[in-house]
Amino acid sequence: MDIPAAPSSFYVDEFNQIDDTTGAIRLRWDHSSSDVYTNNVYRENSNDTRTLLWGTPNNACFVAVRIMRGVFSGLRRFGLLVS
């Protein structure tokens, strides 16, 4: 089994504030050049573990975030793996 090519241009496309403590960010990326069935979006936690946030065949997803003191809370880094 071949390892699929990684998608490219992974970025935050937009942010929507829902209320004082909650928001949603839209993550986007360019599709892999390989035949990919699922794009899995992960959050990297402060202890270097990963939490699966979303799986999609598309090239975008919304992720809920907490807002504390006007900034996103608990976010270190997002990652995208394909399968």
Q: What Å distances lie between residue 8 and 18, 29, 40, 59, 62, CA to CA?
A: 29, 6, 14, 10, 18
User: With a threshold of 0.85, does the pTM exceed it?
Assistant: no
pLDDT tens, position by position, 47-76: 888 888 888 888 999 888 777 665 555 555
pLDDT tens, position by position, 19-32: 888 888 898 999 88
Given this model, what pLDDT does residue 60 score? Answer: 92
Domains of the chain and CATH, by start: 8-82 (2.60.40.10)
Whether the predicted pLDDT of 82 surpasses 70:
no
Q: How many other β-carbons are positioned within 10 Å of the β-carbon of residue 44?
A: 14
Q: How many other β-carbons are positioned within 10 Å of the β-carbon of residue 27?
A: 21
**What pairs with residue 30 in β-bridges?**
8
